Amino acid sequence: MKNVTIYSTPTCHFCHLAKDFFKANNVAYTEYDVAADMEKRKEVVEKSGQMGVPVIIIGEDLVVGFNKPKVAELLGISI
């Protein structure tokens, strides 16, 4: 399984959808709350070039927003 990281905020609806999708599909992930962690906020802006969340990194691939078909494809999950 690829490493999965999500940069999110507590109030982000699409962040919650992404995390629910991961949980429903037994995908382990690392989460960073960029509302509380300024270093991780800076890191994700440098990686993605923007301030939007969620930013999901699957292996070496970066997805901005919860693009369910793309996330499923990168994880090898049928939807």
> Which structural domain range is residue 55 located in?
4-75
Instruction: Specify the pLDDT at position 10.
Output: 97
| Mean pLDDT of successive 10-residue stretches along the chain, which has 79 residues | 94 98 97 97 94 96 97 95
Predicted local confidence at residue 1, as pLDDT: 73
Please give the pLDDT value at position 6: 98
- Indicate which CATH number applies to the domain containing 51: 3.40.30.10
Contacts of 43 (CB under 8 A, 6+ apart): 7, 32
Regarding pTM above 0.85, the answer is: yes
* Number of other CB atoms surrounding residue 36 within 10 Å: 10
d(CA 39, CA 23): 26
| Per-residue pLDDT at 79 | 86
Query: Number of folded domains in the chain?
Result: 1
